[in-house]
Each structure stands twice: as C-alpha cells, then as structure tokens.
A and B are shown apart, each in its own frame.
Chain A
C-alpha cells in the first residue's frame, strides 16, 4: 500500500490534527496550503497514494485543482478524497463526475474517524 498522502487544506489547525491522526495510523502525510501549491507538489512528485482535497482554497478552488489533476497524464489516476464542509448537491455531483473516491464532510467526524476512513480509501 502506498502510504504517501498529500493534504491540500488551508486551515493549519485542521492540517495539524489530521497529520497527527494519519501518522498515528502509520501513514506519511504531506501538506499544501493552497490549490496552486498542491498542484505544484503533485507535478513535482506524482507518487502519492491519495490526495485529500479541501474545496474552498486560496488561489485555486478544489474543483479546479481536481479538473487540472484529471487533465494531467501524470496525476490523472491519483485517488482523491474531498474533505470539506460544503454540502452543496451540485458540488458533490461535480466531484463524483471527476471521479473522487470519497466525499467527507469535516464537521461530521473526529480527526481519528476521518483518518480511518482515509486509510480505507487508500487500501481499497
């Protein structure tokens, strides 16, 4: 199992908690704090086993990040889990059209629950 996870999330507090939970499960989390940096990180190293992607991000919206990932042959097959507090039906539909593996609403889970769900996605 590829244990490398890229978390694209602009909230440092959420990054810190999620990283601690993922490390607790033996995974290797990496951080990007905006959409553009996330895409750059993927361009430089497309060997991630999973991308955890927020939607409301500075510089580039999560859906745009996802669209660009799918267009790029280097990143198009990397599994993506959306992690957001947006529950807009159109947004959810668009995310699944772009082939996301999971759509998780942050506020409904603890950091540990989220990490366990991400582990399931990673090992699927």
Chain B
C-alpha cells in the first residue's frame, strides 16, 4: 500500500502541469508537459469531431480543408515542443559552460591565496594569535577549493568529459593518509575514528585526486552528521577482484523517503538540512560519477537515527603473471 501510495503521489505530482512548468521556469504555452497534454486533449477532440462530421455529408474539398487544419494544428504544437526542448537544452549547455568557466576562473585567485598563505604560515615569528587567524584562512581556502573542484567535476560530468586517466594507486596508503588527516578533527569533535585495512597495498588503477575527493567527501559527511561521542569507521578490504572501501557512521542516517534521491544533484535531506544548513548537495552526485568512471560501483545502507554506511568498489589491478622460466633473468 505504501509503495502504491508513493507511486500515486508521484504520478499526481507529475500531472500537476502548473507546478512542473513553474519548476522549469517556462510559460505554459512553451512548457513541453503542458503542450503534450494540450495535444492529447486536441487529439480526443478531433477524433470526436471527425466521428461527428463523418455522420454528416461532406464534400471532398471540405474534408481536405478539415484534414489540413488538423495537420497544421499538430505541426504547430510539435514545433512548440521541439522549440521548448531546444531552449531547455541550450539553457543546460550555457549553465554547464558558465559553471566550467567560473570554476576555472576561481581557481587562479584561490591558488594565489593558498600559495601566499603557505609562505606566511612558514614564516618565522608569526605569533600564536596570527597562527590562529592563518588556520582559519587555511580552512576557508581549503573549503573553497573543494567547492570549486566539485563545480568543475559537475561541469565535466554534464559535458561527458569526466577524467578517466588513472595510474597504479595503493588504496591502503591513500586511506591511511586521509584517515590521519581527519584524526585531529575526530579528536576535537569527540568522535571515535576507526580505521581497518589489510597489510596488502590494495592497488587499483584510478585518479588519485578523484579517489581522494570521494573519500574526503564521505568522511566529511560522516563527521558532519554524527554528533559527539559517535563513531566513524573506514574499512578497506579486498573482495574477489575488487577493492571495497566503506565509511560508516552512527549519525543522523537517511530517512526511507529520501533514500532514492541521495545521489541526485543538489539533493539534501530534510533531516540533514537541520543539522548542517550549508553544503551544495553535490558531493555524492560527483562521487558516484567518479567511481563509475573508474569502473566501480557505489551504494549505501542507512537507517534514520542509527547511521549510514556508504561504500564503493573499484576493480583491483591484475597482478602480473609470473614470467615463464626461459624468460627469467638469472642475476
């Protein structure tokens, strides 16, 4: 009943043409949904009209005029629909281009600020007060850098040009570096951070910056939505021919009604909005695209109020087969 109810309410929502067209930001006569319904209505009218007229005795010329009229009305409606879709596609292209240009342009001043600040931090006799101010600046610049990276990745995903370059990468090393970077934050937030990894390097073929982005996003979310005395765990394992990383928390969790939309662009659940009103709702959207580009999969398990586990898998690098005896070098 719940499923049927959900489905019906979704259908009802989609049939609310006024609401849908308002969401597109288009007038009714240009909105594809409204024009489709209008065409359906006209089609029914014409079928009924044709039947009625068919009962009358019409001259062939009258039938030709009538059929031409119907064809013209349908062609006009089709033209409006095509035109509307073109406008929407163009708006989408412009938005992606704007996002791409803006984020590239933002990177230059951001780099200048980062570099200058790194020199200031390294300068002698900075003083404790100034060190505190610089730490604030470092944190703010780091956050802005992440936002710009996210925007750039979104632009790439939408343009279909997401980076697929990779090199041999040890997930064990990367995960331990990132876990270490989050340990101070865990301590100050009164959250226990657990890290489980095998002794093997767990090598995959992937772009290090992208995998770093995914891991930092998952940990950032886990900490953001877990209150004090909670636990955040990172586990790295090998399952068959894939590496699996899971980030678990004992935080807010994802309500059932939001679970289907967690990876949607700009989606933020109502319960997490209360905890952390900031954020763009893009990191999971980007993360999944990045993992899929590395031929992996991403998913999650969650229960509201109990916490979540977000995981992803990436194919392991195939180990080199041993050389046949005649090719082995004897040193």
Contact = CB atoms under 8 A, between A and B. Distances in A.
Interface of A: 11, 13-14, 16-18, 20-21, 85-87, 89, 92, 105-108, 110-112, 114
A108 B110 CA distance: 11
Interface string B141-171: 0000100110010000000010111000000
Contact of A111 (B119, B149, B152): B119
23 contacts: A11-B112, A13-B112, A13-B116, A14-B108, A17-B118, A17-B119, A20-B119, A21-B115, A85-B108, A87-B163, A89-B161, A89-B163, A89-B165, A107-B114, A107-B145, A107-B148, A110-B114, A110-B115, A110-B118, A111-B114, A111-B116, A111-B118, A114-B115
Contacts of A110: 114-115, 118
B111 A112 contact: no
Nearest to B113: A13
B104 interface: yes
Interface string B96-130: 00000000100111111011101100100000000
B116 A86 contact: no
B114 to A, nearest CB: 6
Given A89-B163, A107-B145, A108-B209, A18 B104 contact: no
Where chain A touches its partner, the secondary structure class is helix
A56 to B, nearest CB: 9
Interface of B: 104, 107-112, 114-116, 118-119, 122, 145, 148-149, 152, 161, 163-165, 209
Nearest to A105: B209
Contacts of B115: 13-14, 17-18, 21, 106, 110-111, 114
Contacts of B110: 107
Contact of B111 (A20, A86, A106): A106
